[in-house]
């Protein structure tokens, strides 16, 4: 039980800390904005200097002046918008034999028409012997990284299927994924062969979107990325390089370390505007086929209830190189956020269809136990798990 009365002094300390952080961030934002302007004036030279220096930190790749901003374009109508989302029941070491469950939704809206929406969700049960059909290399255990990777792969597979199913000839389409297109969680499995196989399978779906001409974008809410900040830190001399001669460095100014990209663009963009498009320099991108490398821009999403939020929108390179498709995605995401009161409606609906609630989770475990007992088997369910379900005090 949480005793809130005992938190009073700690909350007072947190308020003081939050005020200090806010003041420091304001000064950092002012300094970052000045560095962004300086970088914008000589961005080709800056990009060349970054490539030559090869900094150890992840630094945004410049494709245009980083000060570029684009106002909200008009969204075409009619238009098809499809989305997917997924959830899972992770392996539980208190249940034997081990397994996990994936549940991935599909939604598709035909805006500007009276056509029925596409709404579906598919569950998939995975267990140890079944993994050979999905990952050829033996992993020894079902890690959360593996489950997350297979869920993301299934989401992209189902998104491609939704786009193909809902596509109407001559009608614009946007396919929306939730979260990043960069497979961060795959690295670190300590099994390079499996890592490469999972990335290859995921990027095969990315290539299928390109082959079919189906523009894909992913939406990252409240991103915690620092690639653009690292670029600015490089410019002002905080990352393994001397600053350009015409960039002033103020010794007493707070360093940009700790600032996020969204903090920078929050003071650069007006509501509805998107930033310049940047390239990701993640080493994972080396395993992505040509045309599927991830690019991104930041978008300031308006809100009736307040200042709104900064989001990051990721697209494959082939989409980033088509200004018409970028405008379509920009306009579509804004309208979706307007309909969803700050978050894309299609993704919100996909989440509702995919989420596995606590009651559904327990119903699933009961169903599985009945099926195993009917087959003459006795699943092992630890006392610890049962006691957590029914506390005695």
Q: Give the phi and the psi of residue 176 in degrees, each rounded to 5.
A: -110, 125
Asked whether the beta carbons of 107 and 162 are under 8 A apart, the reply is yes
Res 138: pLDDT: 46
Res 156: pLDDT: 97
Res 195: pLDDT: 86
CA distance linking residue 335 with residue 301, whole number of Å: 10
Asked whether the beta carbons of 178 and 83 are under 8 A apart, the reply is yes
pLDDT digits (tens), the chain, 393 positions: 888 888 988 998 999 989 999 999 999 999 999 999 999 989 999 999 999 999 989 999 999 999 999 999 999 999 999 999 999 998 877 676 778 899 999 999 999 999 999 999 999 998 766 665 555 454 456 778 888 889 999 999 999 999 999 999 999 999 999 999 999 878 777 778 888 889 999 999 999 999 999 999 999 999 999 999 999 999 999 986 544 454 455 556 789 999 999 999 999 999 999 999 999 999 898 889 999 999 999 999 998 777 778 999 999 999 999 999 999 999 999 999 999 999 999 999 999 999 999 999 889 988 888 887 887 776 655 444 555 555 555
Residue with structure tokens 């979706």? 336
Closest C-alpha among 156, 162, 173 to residue 207: 156
Helix (H) or strand (E) holding 35: helix 8-41
DSSP state of 239: S
* Tokens matching residue 179: 């979260």
CA distance linking residue 235 with residue 49, whole number of Å: 9
* Tokens matching residue 39: 């970088």
CA distance linking residue 284 with residue 365, whole number of Å: 37
DSSP state of 324: H
CA distance linking residue 337 with residue 331, whole number of Å: 10
Res 323: pLDDT: 97
Q: Give the phi and the psi of residue 96 in degrees, each rounded to 5.
A: -130, 130
SS3 88: strand
């Amino acid at each position: 039980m949480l005793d809130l009365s005992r938190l009073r002094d700690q909350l007072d300390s947190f308020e003081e800390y939050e005020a200090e952080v806010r003041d420091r961030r304001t000064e950092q934002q002012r300094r970052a904005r000045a560095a962004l302007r300086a970088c914008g004036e000589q961005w080709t030279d800056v990009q060349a200097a970054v490539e030559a220096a090869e900094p150890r930190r992840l630094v945004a790749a410049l494709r245009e002046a980083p000060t570029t901003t684009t106002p909200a374009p008009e969204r075409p109508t009619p238009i098809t918008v499809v989305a997917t989302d997924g959830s899972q029941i992770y392996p539980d070491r208190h249940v034997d034999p081990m397994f996990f469950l994936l549940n991935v939704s599909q939604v598709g809206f035909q805006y500007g028409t009276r056509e029925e929406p596409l709404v579906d969700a598919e569950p998939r049960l995975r267990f140890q012997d079944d993994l050979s059909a999905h990952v050829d290399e033996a992993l020894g255990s079902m890690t959360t990284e593996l489950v997350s990777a297979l869920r993301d792969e299934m989401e992209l597979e189902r998104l491609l299927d939704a786009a193909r199913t809902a596509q109407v000839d001559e009608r614009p389409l946007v396919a929306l994924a939730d979260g990043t297109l960069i497979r961060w969680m795959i690295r670190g499995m300590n099994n390079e062969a499996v890592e490469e196989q999972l990335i290859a399978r995921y990027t095969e779906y990315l290539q299928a979107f390109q082959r079919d001409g189906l523009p894909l974008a992913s939406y990252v809410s409240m991103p915690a990325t620092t690639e653009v900040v690292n670029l600015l830190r490089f410019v002002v001399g905080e990352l393994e390089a001397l600053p350009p001669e015409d960039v002033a460095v103020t010794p007493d100014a707070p360093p940009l370390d700790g600032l996020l990209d969204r903090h920078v663009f929050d003071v650069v963009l007006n509501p509805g505007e998107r930033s310049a498009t940047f390239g990701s320099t993640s080493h994972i991108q080396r395993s992505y086929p040509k045309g599927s490398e991830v690019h991104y821009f930041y978008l300031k999403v308006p809100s009736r209830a307040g200042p709104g939020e900064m989001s990051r929108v990721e697209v494959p390179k082939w989409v980033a190189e088509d200004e018409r498709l970028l405008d379509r995605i920009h306009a579509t995401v804004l309208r979706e956020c307007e309909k969803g009161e700050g978050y894309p409606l299609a993704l919100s609906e996909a989440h509702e269809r995919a989420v596995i609630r606590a009651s559904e989770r327990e119903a699933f475990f009961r169903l599985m136990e009945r099926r195993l007992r009917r087959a003459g088997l006795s699943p092992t369910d630890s006392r610890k798990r049962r006691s957590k379900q029914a506390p005695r005090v």
